[in-house]
Amino acid sequence: MDATNATADDAARTVRRVVDRIEEAAVVDREVLHAMLSATLARGHVLLEDVPGTGKTVTARVIAEAMGLEFTRLQFTPDLLPSDVTGSTIYDEQAGEFEFAPGPVFTNVVLADEINRAPPKTQAALLEAMEERQVSVDGTTYDLPEPFLVVATQNPIEQEGTFRLPEAQRDRFSVKTSLGYPDFEGEMGLLERRANRRSLSPSVESVASPDAVRLLQTLTEEVTVDEKVRRYIVEIARKTRADQRAEIGVSPRGVQRVFEAARAAALIEGRSYVTPDDIKRLAGPTMAHRIVLTTEATVEGVDGSAIVRHAVNAVDVPAVAPGPDDPEPTTDSGTESAAANGDSADVTSGCDATGPHGDGGATEADRRDES
């Protein structure tokens, strides 16, 4: 399908198909999946922090499989070298010359498993790849494939023999989220799926392609953000910096990442414009990990999410009207996905489905406000 003909409705249907395919193999909360897909469409990266066995690896792999992307899992260990990530130059005896052997980072989706177990020098090997989509080895720069996504995991409980990610690297992740334990029905579903397959790990067939993902990322860049919504993002970020419990608040880079993720979230819902609800929904996953707490706040058990919630509650929500050609925005993000017209085309193929959150419900931030 030509990029000039694709619409937000087409994008929403494609993402709906991806979500359905992911849920065939993994039990993932819709809010978590929404945040991860928003980061993907915004050309960002994801940090998953959770205890072992909650499905971090499976989720990253089936997202790649559903989108038709190449996937590589890289286990970070204390003896892992930077060249083990980026690749190295080796000597070819037959040709009599040096040639570059690409490392595992040269793929579409990289799972950096237990990233905090590798020393800082190896962690830093990912910085250039994440920010510039390239790696430099022996003075030569090599471009990484597009799309490119890093999904890094770390265990928040077991900290012995680990190296805490520096603030500069945490700031590179568009989204930080946690899968958590599934509910009772979710775990029953896991057993049902395991009983119906012969392999240890689940896998899914692709419903998209790298070209389709690149098209979705291009459509994300065309989503409009009203000046009032932009001001809303900046005011929330500045509130986090003014909080006495925060030594460092959300950075200017973080403001841009919220902006980008919100545009992707709007596209996932089938809209060509961002609403304040998109910001409220993604404020925690995109901002909380960028905040550095004071010593007193750390001792008191405060976390970055509490500071972000306080900032969101302290800033007035702007009233934003859609453009003349746009549908009316809903007050609940996720309650109404764009309806699919019978004659409209999917980004990859025709499909009668709406956005991935057609089942609706108030955002987590809304539920906290009401309480």
The CA dihedral of 286, 289, 293, 299, to the nearest 10 degrees, is 120
**Which CATH number covers residue 41?**
3.40.50.300
User: Which amino acid, 148?
Assistant: F
The total number of structural domains that make up the chain: 2
353 in any annotated domain:
no
Q: 2-38 burial string, b = 16+ CB within 10 Å, else e?
A: eeeebbbbbbbbbbbbbbebbbebbbbeebbbbbbbb
Q: Token pair of 331, please?
A: 């007050």
d(CA 279, CA 121): 34
Are 91 and 206 members of one domain? yes
Are 186 and 121 members of one domain? yes
Domain ranges, residue 154: 1-222
Question: Coil, helix or strand for 29?
Answer: coil
Are 231 and 207 members of one domain? no
Domain edge (last residue) among 201, 222, 243: 222
d(CA 116, CA 120): 8
Domain edge (last residue) among 222, 247, 264: 222
Are 142 and 231 members of one domain? no
User: Which amino acid, 363?
Assistant: T
Q: Which of 242, 324, 233 is nearest to 275 (CA)?
A: 233
Domain edge (last residue) among 222, 249, 281: 222
Are 90 and 234 members of one domain? no
Instruction: Read off φ and ψ for residue 173, nearest 5 degrees.
Output: -85, 125
d(CA 138, CA 127): 17
pLDDT of the chain, 371 residues: tens digit per residue: 455 677 888 889 999 999 999 988 888 888 999 999 999 999 999 999 888 888 888 899 999 999 999 999 999 988 999 999 999 988 888 888 888 899 999 999 999 999 988 888 888 888 888 988 999 888 889 999 999 999 999 887 766 667 788 788 888 899 999 888 888 888 888 888 888 777 777 778 899 999 999 999 999 999 999 999 999 999 999 999 999 999 999 999 999 999 999 999 999 999 999 999 999 999 999 999 999 999 999 898 898 999 999 999 999 999 876 655 555 544 443 433 333 333 444 555 433 333 434 443 444 444 444 43
Are 268 and 231 members of one domain? yes
Are 169 and 152 members of one domain? yes
Q: Token pair of 231, please?
A: 């001001």
The pTM of the full predicted model, rounded to 2 decimals, is 0.80
Question: Coil, helix or strand for 334?
Answer: coil
Are 176 and 50 members of one domain? yes
Are 237 and 114 members of one domain? no
